[in-house]
Chain A
Amino acid sequence: MKANKHFNHFAFRAEQQLVQDVHDEIIQILGVDCTYIPKEHFDYDLIMGEDSDTRFRQGYLIEMLTEQNDGYLGDSMLSKFGLQIEEQIVFVMSKRRFDETKISGRERPHEGDLVFYPIDGRIYQITFVDYTGPGFLQAGIFPNYRLNAELYVPSEEQIQTNIREIDDANLEVYAVEIPLKDIEGKFALHEVVIGEESGMKANVKKFYPRKKKIDLQHVTGNFNPSEKITGQTSGATAYVEHIVEFMHNEKEPVKRLKTNRQFKDEGDTLIDWDPNNPLS
């Protein structure tokens, strides 16, 4: 017995478009504009099967709907490493709207991409993309993506979308504050600065022309004192006034490194580090 050819539930184009329209409209009515931030790989290692040089540089605005109404999924716990928040959230995104947005290098949402949810101001990382629902095979199509996402745990990846809220949400990422002198020009946000003598590179996190300071991220080493640094995009130049060590950087957002400093300072008063001691 074959399926009745007079009833077409799964291959009628107009019906499919109607279903997609209805789904899109529901998301547009109930959802919010989120920013979809695709992950870019720069150094994929085939042996270890991972890439530690991932960057997030573009943001695409797409409306999304959250599935749960009464709290995040998952839980938080106080682990050995501090407060570990494993809150999860499920976003529903229209398949058609995703295709229309034309995110470069994406035919479908990828696991590992980020979603900035403006309501709670947090960044979530997609852990699993379920293309089957909601609206499983209505009129023969999969109208939506269900994105299972978890609160993003930064590991010094570069988030430089030039959208202030998103870049600031990643505040804990370590920045070195370097005092400058003889500043000419204005350093641009997220541009690469290179030291003339040392050849060290870093990204500008923030530039304070009045305070004569610059916050640098993703540094590849230490600049030399009185070294000339040049912004690669803006062409701005300045001289390093003096070097602030990793440990003695008083930048407020790096709260967690204060513990390191405390350990180091107290340890120095206690421990007798003798460089000549072969046993220590």
Chain B
Amino acid sequence: MFFSKIEEQDQYHQTIRNLVVIIGSLFSDMVLVRKNHKSNEIEEKILVPVNFANRDKMLALVREAPSVDSKSTSYSLPRIGFSFDGLTYDPQRQLPKTGGRGRPTKNEKNKKDALIIYNAVPYNFEFSVSIAAKYAEDLTQIVEKILPYFAPNLNVTYRAIPELELDVDVPIMLNGVSWNDEYQGLQERRILIADLSLTAKSYIFPPIKDFPRINTISVETQVIAKGTDLKSKDKTALRQEVGVQIATENSGTLRTEDSSEAMTNPANEVSLVKIYGYDEDDDFGFNTFVYEGSDYDEEKEREQIYENEP
């Protein structure tokens, strides 16, 4: 049944919000440099403001509309605005639904438990990024600074599920760039806008489940001896339906046995083996545990190896 576990519903992974932050942070440090065409000297550097377009209208009005006291309109160019336009399921990236990932919980009280999450559902998130400028060269510069990073996609690794220290690679595809330059007409203001259509290939995650960790697996093993049926010369398992007559050679004597006896035949080993013992201090023979991506510093390790080399 859907949503039957109330405690699981406390979870919300903020996937869409995180993607908005990612797209915004890609452009948050963009500096436009204006140079003099003749001397090629830098005239000024401008940090391009970026904002997420989908927002509360009333709040935007209250915050940005000019009043009697503050006459400034807070609207200047160039600037970047981006919007979230929707999401579609991507069947090609779907992994088996029963698969997933897990790791020991950090909760001290439930040290034996594991957190698991089933495979996430792949979705394509559509964003459109619009860059507005007053001058054509401002726009060409901003667009030309952005485009080389998308070839055709930009890979961003981000921490999707902090509880599981689960990092996800999100390729952000650039689908196309459209150019709006209203240079015609007499009395209208000319505003140049470049629209970049982006698709972020990410996932929507199911709730994290708290599972007791598997401590022991008991496996019943049975080796069934096979003997050559001396009459038919076939190799036959000694264990058969009860009462089936098979000829076996045992201890050097040829005799006919009922298959029911074969179960107790010493050649048939039946045992219960505890193959996976767990106790809290067990290190399973490993010196260190490296959990996926999280605390592992590849660079540091490389340096250490380099230093230890004679």
Contact = CB atoms under 8 A, between A and B. Distances in A.
A84 B37 CA distance: 31
B65 A83 contact: yes
B46 A263 contact: no
A77 to B, nearest CB: 10
A121 B28 contact: no
Nearest to B134: A155
A277 B149 CA distance: 13
B74 A82 contact: yes
Contacts of B236: none
Nearest to B63: A255
5 contacts: A80-B53, A80-B81, A127-B188, A270-B22, A279-B155
Contacts of B293: 272
B64 interface: yes
A220 B74 contact: no
A115 to B, nearest CB: 15
B77 A153 contact: yes
A45 B47 contact: no
B28 A154 contact: no
B57 interface: yes
A155 B76 contact: yes
Interface stretch (A2-10, A15-23, A25-33, A166-174): A166-174
Interface stretch (A46-54, A181-189, A234-242): A46-54
Nearest to A150: B189
B167 A272 contact: yes
Interface string B23-66: 01111110100101110011111110111110001001101111
B79 interface: yes
A254 to B, nearest CB: 8
Contacts of A43: 36-38, 43
A86 interface: yes
Nearest to A202: B44
A270 B42 contact: no
A151 interface: yes
A260 B50 contact: yes
A276 B133 CA distance: 33
Nearest to B48: A260
Interface stretch (B93-101, B135-143, B213-221, B259-267): B135-143
Contacts of B31: 246
B22 A81 contact: no
A173 B293 CA distance: 43
B37 A45 contact: yes
Interface-central residue, B31, B37, B38, B138, by most chain A CB under 10 Å: B37
Contacts of B52: 259
Contacts of A101: none
Contacts of A274: 157
Interface string A257-280: 101110110111111101011011
- Determine chain B's interface SS by DSSP, over half rule: mixed
A120 interface: yes
Contacts of B27: 263
Given A53-B36, A271-B25, A151 B18 contact: no
Interface of B: 18, 21-22, 24-29, 31, 34, 36-38, 41-47, 49-53, 57, 60-61, 63-66, 71-83, 130, 132-138, 154-159, 167, 186-189, 293, 299
Contact of B130 (A81, A174, A261): A81
Most buried by A among B50, B72, B158: B72
B44 A220 contact: yes
A270 B21 contact: yes
Contact of A50 (B25, B26, B57, B137): B137
B187 A148 contact: yes
A85 B43 contact: no
A106 interface: no
Nearest to B186: A128
Contact of A81 (B37, B38, B41, B132): B132
A271 B47 contact: no
B47 A173 contact: no
Nearest to A53: B43
Given A81-B51, A172-B76, A267 B24 contact: yes
A266 B260 CA distance: 71
Contacts of A270: 18, 21-22, 25, 158-159
Nearest to A127: B187
Contact of B75 (A83, A169, A247, A267): A83
A220 B133 CA distance: 19
B43 A220 contact: yes
A264 B26 CA distance: 8
Given A271-B22, A276-B299, A171 B79 contact: no
A48 B136 contact: yes
